[in-house]
Structure 1
Amino acid sequence: MNRRTSIGILLSAGALAVIIAAAAALWGPAKKEGADNMTIAIGQTMQNPLVLEQEWEDYGIGDPFVLRHDGKYYLYCSTKDWRVGVKAWSSDDLVTWRYEGLVTEEPLTEGAYAPEVVYWNGSFYMYTSPAGKGHYVLQSDKPTGPFVVKTENLGLTIDGSVFIDDDGKWLFTHAESGGIMAAPMTDPFTIEPGKKLNTSLGHWTEGSMIVKRNGRYFITYTGNHVFSKGYRVNYGVSREAPDGVYAIPENNPLLISTADGFNGLGHSSTVMGPDMDSYYLVYHDLVGRSAEGPPVRRLNIDRLAFNGDKLSVLGPTHGTPVQAPAPPAFADIPEYAPPADKWEQVGDGRGWLSRSAAEERHTAEFNFVLREEAGDGAREEATLDMIFAYENEGDYRAARLDEASMTLSLVEVEDGIEKVEASGPLPDGMDLTKLHTVRAESDGDSVKLYWDGLLRIERKGLQARGGKIGYAWNEGANPRLRYTAFSNEAGGSSDRKAIKPVPGSMEAVHGTPIGRPEERSGITPDGSDALVLAHKGDGVSFPVHVARSGDYLLSASVSNASAGSLLAIEAGGKTVKRKLEPSLFADDGEWTKVSLGLFELEAGTRRITVRLAGGGGEVALRYVEAAEAAAVPDNAIVEPSEVGIDKRFGGDAGWTDYDVSFDLTLNEETIDETSVLLRTTNESEFPDQVADSFMGYQLTFRNGRVVLYRVSYENVEEVESGILAIAPGETKRVVAKLRGAALSVFADGGEEPILTWTDPNAFLHGRVGKRGLSEAWTVSPLTISSFK
């Protein structure tokens, strides 16, 4: 007969919650700097790129994948061409890595591409495409191998990735020209016919991975060619299904840099941080050339941030220290004899409680084996309570595993009375003699229970409570207690505390609120939440780490309804007021990115603060960006010649507002076109990638018209056009004026523009360029003038 699992004794009321030392180190002592601006201690740091022992010589770490299992991280990477085996490293914190050796030496793993490992029900499954010639599945009972080949060649190009949904269904995604493919799986070894998703980088697209967060599916994917400086990561989001239609948000690319010494960023994987709330993007960059020709690849890790349907990277960071992943507030591997300094035994020897207590908002994780051998019917069916929010013997919560019914239940004990709040079946075929994980998230008025990473129970209307964590079991169980931890974060709360790298972007809802601002959902075009400043003095303050001293352009995405309001921006020891004039806003859409001005910032940790200073109306704020700025010269002559032949670039990517003047001559009648490029960044030239490999504006002249395009690699949009009649042999003097989000074009000294447009999601800085090789056109060198 089953007996109710009980804690058994009342613990002393004097038990104290642990004050987290890591949090104290993070925030540190604050001091005034300028107008209510405080510096912040960054605490433990890390710095990209990460250099590990025993990397593949003259190759590095490419296509990195990180598995989190039993509180530890395991890194796998592609194998150097013509070498056999797959290397792995392990880490406790994502910062310090230990080499684990070759986890397989199967002969077919020669040149193994992009190995990814999934743990399920006691086994580790590796998916890899050796030398890019189709996929194989290898299996092991340990993350460090040895992995043994279990299938024939399954085909399906390269870069296979497995996603397991909350309902236990498996999905396999892989690379393809023109978009990622997705195929259902009937078991870890069998892949059914698939379909192409609308996740494309306009050419060859690879390196996909899906994660689920707050009911949304986020897919990341990479392209186009691994050796291109413009190799980049995009993402899509879906609320419907992992193989459904994805929305492609406007803040793509998610990850890109074509700078010398830091470019070719891609083939990423996503992993949960040690605090069980944060997430990190693991990717490689390219540097130099190996002895065999291709560039060497280096490992990088940057923080991700989630805001509704929006995903962003706090970075990319390179060559500068950034905040390291935060540890949990409490962590231990109790096994069968937990240490007395961390645990107190309860329940007649069949239970343990932590001596540390979590706060109301927290996440607790329990890794365990219910018993080493399957039951033989001679003893009682096992039950195991994973306790959290423990206040005393009569007040606590538990995730209860019941072997007889193969269910997981959320149990509430209040004033000694037990109530099952919710219950559901385990995924099919669970073997309870293998290691499994239960994670409990307590956040606001909801509690979520995850089984092996799958959300199985969500109970809304249950107020979060703090308390100790632990275990209790009946006589039928003999649990092996593995990694057990809690952090005082849940539901993405750690995103608000993260120190934001500058240059970079900061979500308004991820800052520290000042006054009485209101978070508001459902008002932005990308499904993110916004912060509404409705009262004078309302604002938001961001803890930031500035990579390099210099001038920075601050900008913000605000609702068009905010026109007329006055903002006060505090940064770099000064306060600047900026009136949101109606002329700053785009006619298209309901939001516009507006320039807030240039600020001189010193390297290190500090704060950037935005407040409502007046104007009579409210300001709805989505995000604030900080970009490195450079002085624009007066009457400088630029003949673009860098990067490519058809597309040539010159100037400085930090230029902000400027005028570009040039003579445009039509030498002969033609259907050809020529273009001038404005505010361009992240330029790339490579044969196997999209033709429009830059970000910025393209002003194209053809057939008596001038056409303005907004270009972001595969996303090219004609946004405005005008008339510019020009006869063969005639020369026109053209001036393009860039002021904040507005761009205007004038010809032959005219006072009225022949074209004008305000970009709601503007490129606010960048250099200049030319495009086209037609001899029918001549474009003079470009004259750059500053605007003050």
Structure 2
Amino acid sequence: MENMYRNPFKAPDAGNTGDPFVMRYDGRYYLYFSAGGFFSMGKMTHDLHCWRSDNLVDWTYLGVACKLPDIIGGYAPEVIYNKGKFYMCTSPHGNGHFILEASKPEGPYKQVTGRFGQRIDGSFFIDDDGRSYFYRAEGNGINFHTMSDPKTVDLPGTPIGESCLNGWTEGPMVLRHGGKYFLTYTGNHLLSKCYKVAYSVSDSSPVSGYTNMKNRVVLAEVGDDFHALGHSSSALAPDMDGAYIIYHTYELVKEPHHRSMNVDRLFFNGSRMYANTIWWDQEKPSLADYSVRGTDELAGSEKDGEKLLLTKKPTPAIYTAEINVNAKGGDFELVYAGGKGRITVNDRTVRVSEGGKVLAIGELPSNIVMRSNNSYRFTRHHDGKMLLMLNNNQEFLKWNSSCKGGKIGFSLLPENAAVGFVGFSSYSDGSSDKFVTKAVPGRMDAVHAVEDHAKLACIENGRDIYCVKATVGSVFTFPINVKADGLYTVCAHVRQADAGVRVDVNGRELVAAAPTAYDRDGSAKVLLGRVKLCGGLGKLVVRAGCDFVIDSFELAEAEDVEKLTLVEDGRLCHDADIFGWKGRGSMISKEVGYSCSENDGFVYVGGHGWTDYRTDAHMTGYMNSTGSCEFMFRMQKESYFGSQPARAGYGYSVRIGCGSISLIEWNYGEKILVNYTLDDCGRFEHDVSVVAKGQKIAVSVDGKELFSYDIPMGNVSGRAGLRVTGECFGVQSMKITPV
């Protein structure tokens, strides 16, 4: 079990580890928490502290990073390396930001600004051109500020509209990956069980051009054993190819309430980013295949009369390598492919050459200081394209290379130069995503199968993603980490599946009929069936039995729909979860039936694995009164908290109010899919039936079908429920039956 870890966990000597931020520098990771999370001699302190790790999981405490009086109680410290210094931003007690400076990641940090306000959760980003930006929390979404220098945040800020989570949105960070900008953020309240992380993506700029994918939520769980996931940061993986997301969970069920740290893998597919939360044993992040520190472990050699200082092992043909060096202002030259390729740094000009031919040239951006340590990371893709990245994942130079693998190192290095981390891995351009285990329950994109399938360019919400054209006999193998022994439903996100979908999953044949509808991007979800899996590490092997385009597979814990009576004679008659501001007292029996006690109440029943079922109810209301009855179905990630949208879940409901009936999509907000007029007057009663089967939702009132609606990419499973608002609506009976 030495190579395993389990979320959530704590760093040594850490207590309440909220708002974890991780910075990678010189091949190592540095960790900071909000103040109040460190214990010294059994007592909690309110200073800022720092830890260090090589793998994001095993941490060593380095000491107090900042103990200044004005910074006591600092919220959400974040650090960036800029112009040879380390800059921290934090908002003590949430009362506005300070910027601090240090010469080492662990500090000590000193103030370089006064308090300049701007709410909480400040975050830095440096773009490819060296320009700096500052991001922070706000009620209308994440706001950004330009920075004229590392110590100056320009005011006022500007909102990034697409980043709003229908209310207060916090915890921003920008991750540069694959030529795109991924902005992550959290909402709406840390005390909600569905405190969650979402993202927007831009091709053009770190502050504009952002749009959202169909599912922008990266992290969300509401179970009693794992919930309230939020305030994340992201970091380059130890293999230098992938990325990890670091976040906290807030224990809200058991005493004492506290926040703990979690680390999970991120996966990328064009403009799509996703993560599968794992709170059972999982493998630690893989390290670089080869790494050293300093020049002692590098080997001297001579080629054509030229002295080289090289790694003792060669890179493979496809690789990512990194060299950290402080040349103390002198010129130096990096080599790759055993010396066939050169990266020459002369003053601030960088030239890439092979065989004496210059392939790329550029001037270092303004954030790079030559008398300090800098990172030069270069990667060779399968098609021979190479990319040079600088500190903070800045994309710098691109070129086509005829060189393949070989040793890396130096051909020119000043005598007083200091060399840091030197290493490489056998991954490039996100190829490591194929070999990292995927969680079950969870999702896995087809392009992340171990096999090298040809990618099919597709569109989702106007943005690029990649699918795979499956033909008879195509195999998709995924390394998986299964939560527990049991049955799991298998759902496929497909395109061009008009003949249906037939697959073999770990030896079991699963079949789905052709989708009844596709969305505007030509996508649909189909439920294939169930497969039995053993808990722990293993493989999921999917063999196609027909031709179709596959986007992704999703697996969830299977549950049989239970035939039950939830309400009878206006009274609750089955165990259920009741939400509302009065807790279980939020729903009571009244003259109109089972209803809310004061304006709003929720009841949930059943399992998140429930698939096809119908709800039959008899409801009562009064014309010209405010309020409604809503019958929820296929609900996922449901929660209740006063400071978040009322429709707090992902699923659907049929709402009946005065004179109308609506089909509504819940997404911690709402989208009305269908609205139908009812001819009501005075006191009215209706028999309401909602049938969810496959992609189709059918709604009947008083024995007559009013409408049916296809939801091509909707939830295929989820809980049932009831919501009542106002004082004059109630339910006399409500039954749920499998179909």
TM-score by length of 1: 0.85
Corresponding residue for residue 398 of structure 1? 342
- Post-superposition offset of 1:725: 4.3
- Post-superposition offset of 1:781: 4.2
Are the counterparts in 2 of residues 161 and 173 from structure 1 also a CA contact under 8 Å?
yes
Match 1:152 to one of 108, 114, 125? 114
Are the counterparts in 2 of residues 43 and 323 from structure 1 also a CA contact under 8 Å?
no
- Post-superposition offset of 1:477: 5.0
Taking a change above 3 Å as real, the CA distance of residues 429 and 245 of structure 1, as seen in their structure-2 partners, is closer
1:123 aligns with 2:85: yes
Match 2:509 to one of 568, 571, 575? 575
Matched letter for residue 385 of structure 1: E
1:774 aligns with 2:730: no
- Post-superposition offset of 1:693: 1.3
Match 1:683 to one of 638, 663, 667? 638
Q: What is the CA–CA distance in structure 2 between the aligned matches of 1:206 and 1:579, rounded to whole Å?
A: 41
Are the counterparts in 1 of residues 352 and 359 from structure 2 also a CA contact under 8 Å?
yes
SS at match of 1:689: coil
Corresponding residue for residue 350 of structure 2? 408
Q: What is the CA–CA distance in structure 1 between the aligned matches of 2:711 and 2:474, rounded to whole Å?
A: 27
- Post-superposition offset of 1:588: 5.3
- Post-superposition offset of 1:135: 0.7
Pairs within 5 Å for 1:426-441: 426-428=364-366, 430-441=368-379
Match 2:398 to one of 429, 443, 459? 459
1:316 aligns with 2:260: no
Matched letter for residue 562 of structure 1: A
Match 2:666 to one of 692, 711, 723? 711
Are the counterparts in 2 of residues 422 and 457 from structure 1 also a CA contact under 8 Å?
no
Corresponding residue for residue 17 of structure 2? 61
Taking a change above 3 Å as real, the CA distance of residues 454 and 272 of structure 1, as seen in their structure-2 partners, is closer
Q: What is the CA–CA distance in structure 1 between the aligned matches of 2:254 and 2:83, rounded to whole Å?
A: 41
- Post-superposition offset of 1:252: 2.4
Match 2:268 to one of 296, 300, 306? 306
Matched letter for residue 420 of structure 2: R
Match 1:353 to one of 307, 310, 315? 310
Taking a change above 3 Å as real, the CA distance of residues 466 and 441 of structure 1, as seen in their structure-2 partners, is same
Q: What is the CA–CA distance in structure 1 between the aligned matches of 2:637 and 2:217, rounded to whole Å?
A: 11
Matched letter for residue 169 of structure 1: R
Identical amino acids, percent of aligned pairs: 30
Match 1:562 to one of 497, 511, 518? 497
SS at match of 2:22: strand
Corresponding residue for residue 364 of structure 1? 321
Corresponding residue for residue 595 of structure 1? 527
Match 1:613 to one of 501, 522, 545? 545
Q: What is the CA–CA distance in structure 2 between the aligned matches of 1:431 and 1:776, rounded to whole Å?
A: 69
Q: What is the CA–CA distance in structure 1 between the aligned matches of 2:466 and 2:2, rounded to whole Å?
A: 29
Pairs within 5 Å for 1:598-747: 598-614=530-546, 618-637=547-566, 639=572, 640-644=576-580, 645=586, 646-667=601-622, 669-714=624-669, 716-747=670-701
Are the counterparts in 2 of residues 549 and 601 from structure 1 also a CA contact under 8 Å?
yes
SS at match of 1:779: strand
Corresponding residue for residue 488 of structure 2? 552
Taking a change above 3 Å as real, the CA distance of residues 612 and 145 of structure 1, as seen in their structure-2 partners, is same
Match 1:784 to one of 732, 736, 739? 736
Match 2:181 to one of 217, 226, 251? 217
1:108 aligns with 2:70: yes
Are the counterparts in 1 of residues 130 and 367 from structure 2 also a CA contact under 8 Å?
no
Q: What is the CA–CA distance in structure 1 between the aligned matches of 2:621 and 2:644, rounded to whole Å?
A: 31
SS at match of 1:78: coil
- The aligned length equals 703
Q: What is the CA–CA distance in structure 2 between the aligned matches of 1:783 and 1:106, rounded to whole Å?
A: 62
Match 1:205 to one of 165, 169, 175? 169
Corresponding residue for residue 595 of structure 2? none
Match 1:503 to one of 420, 437, 441? 441
Matched letter for residue 531 of structure 2: F
Q: What is the CA–CA distance in structure 2 between the aligned matches of 1:720 and 1:334, rounded to whole Å?
A: 65
Are the counterparts in 2 of residues 121 and 436 from structure 1 also a CA contact under 8 Å?
no
Are the counterparts in 2 of residues 172 and 185 from structure 1 also a CA contact under 8 Å?
yes
1:275 aligns with 2:239: yes
Matched letter for residue 581 of structure 1: A
Show CA shifts across 1:237-276 (max 9, x none): 0112111131111112211112113111100000001110
Taking a change above 3 Å as real, the CA distance of residues 523 and 139 of structure 1, as seen in their structure-2 partners, is closer
Shifted more, 618-627 versus 533-542: the winner is 533-542
Q: Which runs of 5+ in 1 are unaligned?
A: 1-41, 375-381
1:383 aligns with 2:331: yes
- Post-superposition offset of 1:673: 1.9
Taking a change above 3 Å as real, the CA distance of residues 589 and 491 of structure 1, as seen in their structure-2 partners, is closer
- Post-superposition offset of 1:90: 0.8
Taking a change above 3 Å as real, the CA distance of residues 153 and 209 of structure 1, as seen in their structure-2 partners, is same
Q: What is the CA–CA distance in structure 2 between the aligned matches of 1:521 and 1:566, rounded to whole Å?
A: 20
Taking a change above 3 Å as real, the CA distance of residues 609 and 742 of structure 1, as seen in their structure-2 partners, is farther
Corresponding residue for residue 31 of structure 1? none
1:235 aligns with 2:199: yes
SS at match of 2:433: helix
Pairs within 5 Å for 1:175-214: 175-193=137-155, 194-198=157-161, 199-214=163-178
SS at match of 1:760: coil
Match 2:190 to one of 226, 233, 241? 226
Matched letter for residue 739 of structure 1: K
SS at match of 1:494: helix
Matched letter for residue 431 of structure 1: V
SS at match of 1:772: strand
Q: What is the CA–CA distance in structure 2 between the aligned matches of 1:534 and 1:449, rounded to whole Å?
A: 35
Show CA shifts across 1:407-442 (max 9, x none): 1121213xxxx1111111112374322111101111
Show CA shifts across 1:543-581 (max 9, x none): 21111122211111111x32114421313x4222x1432
Matched letter for residue 92 of structure 2: P
Are the counterparts in 1 of residues 203 and 209 from structure 2 also a CA contact under 8 Å?
no
Corresponding residue for residue 6 of structure 1? none
Q: What is the CA–CA distance in structure 1 between the aligned matches of 2:700 and 2:518, rounded to whole Å?
A: 19
Q: What is the CA–CA distance in structure 1 between the aligned matches of 2:314 and 2:559, rounded to whole Å?
A: 50
1:757 aligns with 2:685: no
Matched letter for residue 705 of structure 1: S
1:266 aligns with 2:230: yes
SS at match of 2:408: strand
Matched letter for residue 725 of structure 2: L
Q: What is the CA–CA distance in structure 1 between the aligned matches of 2:266 and 2:83, rounded to whole Å?
A: 28
Show CA shifts across 1:664-692 (max 9, x none): 22355534322111111212221222222
Show CA shifts across 1:74-130 (max 9, x none): 100000299431011111111111111211111112110000011123211111011
Pairs within 5 Å for 1:512-523: 512-513=450-451, 517-523=453-459
SS at match of 1:249: coil
Are the counterparts in 2 of residues 367 and 437 from structure 1 also a CA contact under 8 Å?
yes
Let me know the Cα RMSD of the aligned residues: 2.3
Corresponding residue for residue 78 of structure 1? 34
Matched letter for residue 757 of structure 1: Y
1:472 aligns with 2:427: no
Structure with the greater relative contact order (CA < 8 A, sep ≥ 6): 1 or 2?
A: 1
Pairs within 5 Å for 1:530-549: 530-533=466-469, 535-549=471-485
Matched letter for residue 657 of structure 1: D
Q: What is the CA–CA distance in structure 1 between the aligned matches of 2:417 and 2:361, rounded to whole Å?
A: 21
Corresponding residue for residue 286 of structure 1? 250
- Post-superposition offset of 1:726: 4.8
Show CA shifts across 1:304-335 (max 9, x none): 0111001101x2111x1123211101000024
Are the counterparts in 2 of residues 197 and 244 from structure 1 also a CA contact under 8 Å?
yes
SS at match of 1:562: coil
Corresponding residue for residue 33 of structure 1? none
Show CA shifts across 1:442-470 (max 9, x none): 11231111122354544343356111111
Q: What is the CA–CA distance in structure 2 between the aligned matches of 1:641 and 1:451, rounded to whole Å?
A: 52
Are the counterparts in 2 of residues 180 and 206 from structure 1 also a CA contact under 8 Å?
yes
TM-score by length of 2: 0.91
